[in-house]
Every structure is written in structure tokens, then in C-alpha cells.
Amino acid sequence: MKTLLNRFALPIGLAATTWLLAGCQSAENSTGGSAPTMAVVGSPPTKETQAAMTPQSALAELKAGNARFVAGQPLKRNLPADVKATASGQYPFAVVLSCLDSRQPIEIVLDQGIGDIFSARVAGNVLNDDILGSMEFACKVSGAKLIAVIGHSNCGAIKGAVDGVELGNLTGLLGKIQPALNQVPADVQPRDSKNLEFVDKVSEANVRLIMQQIRERSPILREMLDSGQIGVAGGMYNLATGEVHFFDK
């Protein structure tokens, strides 16, 4: 017998609870296979569970999801059932802007399934009017509670910007990263792509600038942020460990 627990069914502290209960799955094999076990099953948010979430609980769920991913204990999912459940509507709790990089598939590393999050991916996780409009749709129209901007270590786009690479349409994209270079203290040397400390500091500065730009460039999102309807969070994904470090502020 399996006990199914929807991770959105619990109100406060659900994320941590879900993650802890996920450990129950491992008991299945150690008890001879016949004992009752508990499996935590992921399922898409509903209108009610989305409405019950806050910017804080949305961030907690992203953190818990990454912890599940790092621990190798993702939620069990019935994806065909989730497809059917979301066919007539979606109620994602967050919108995430992250890099194009193939090593950072954001739903996987945050252990999120169908219908959980809006995902915008572009090299260097840069912001533009279309992505800003997508965020406005996600939050104002579809009810997402959190905007998360997640850069990553050893980012090729950041390296390109650091080295002043020019290549077709990529030139304009990398130009959007240039302001972040000036945010890194002058004593971080050398300032080229071979210095991964500098590259990662630029990447983090880029995320922080984008967080500011979201507020400055979108009156709709600024009003929602100021009234506490939504929150914005930034973080860095570590390609070597699989961990997302979310900024404290």
C-alpha cells in the first residue's frame, strides 16, 4: 500500500515536510518489500494550491526541489496523468529566468514537473522586453507568486561578454551583460574568461542587475512587488555540485 501525499496539500512548511517524507521511499527495499511504504508524489498546482502559496512559500518550494534533486530523491510523478490534469488550465507558482546552458535544465535541477513553473531560458539569462512581458503574463494574468533569476557558474555567455566576443546576433545579447562587468570590484584580476572567479562574479552581478531591471522596467511588476503580491529572488546554480545558492537579499 502506498500513501500518496500531494506536496501542495499542506499549507505552511510543506516544502521541508515533503522533502523529509521523500526519505520514506528508501524504506521500501530495506523492509523486504511487503511493509507499507510512503511515497511523495508530485502533481501540478491547482487554482486553490496556487492561491494558497506566497512568495515565501514559492521560494521555499524551489529550494526544497533543488535539495531533492541534489539528494537524488526527486518526487515521483505520473507525467501522463499530469498532462491530462493540466490540459484545460495551468496555475504555476513561479516564473524562472535561467540560462540556455544544457547542463542546467531548470525544471530538472529544481525538481519541478508539468504545470509547476513558467520557464524562460536564454543565453546569459539576460532580460529583454519579450521576457519582461512574459513575466508580466506569468504574474499578473496567471497568478505566479515568485520571479526567480538563476545564473550559473562557468557560464559561456558570461565568458563571451567578458572577452568582448562579437558574432552575428550574439553580439547584441552579450552587450546586455556588459554592465555587470563594472559591478565587480577592480581588485578581482585578471578580468578575462580564464579567471573563473571573475567570470562567476560577473554572472552573479548580472543576476542582481536583472533583478533590479525587472522592478525598474515593469510598472506592473513593480506594483505587485511593492504590494507583496509577488516576490523576486536571485540565485546561482553550481554546475559542479547541482546546487542552487539563492541570495539572501
Interacting residue ranges for Zn ion, rule: CB under 5 A: 99, 101, 155, 157
Contact indicator for 106, 98 with CB cutoff of 8 Å: yes
- 61/101 with CB nearer Zn ion: 101
- 177/224 with CB nearer Zn ion: 177
Contact indicator for 239, 153 with CB cutoff of 8 Å: yes
- 121/191 with CB nearer Zn ion: 121
Q: Return the number of other C-beta atoms located less than 10 Å from residue 31's C-beta.
A: 10
Please state whether the peptide bond connecting residue 190 to the residue before it is cis, i.e. omega within 30 degrees of 0: yes
Alpha-carbon distance of 66 to 245, in angstroms, equals 10
Closest CA to 125 of 107, 159, 98, 101: 98
Alpha-carbon distance of 35 to 2, in angstroms, equals 10
- 60/126 with CB nearer Zn ion: 126
In the chain, helix, strand, coil percent, each to 5? 45, 15, 40
Tell the smallest beta-carbon distance from residue 124 to Zn ion (Å).
6
Bridge partners of 41? 6, 76
- 89/164 with CB nearer Zn ion: 164
> End-to-end CA distance of the chain, in Å?
44
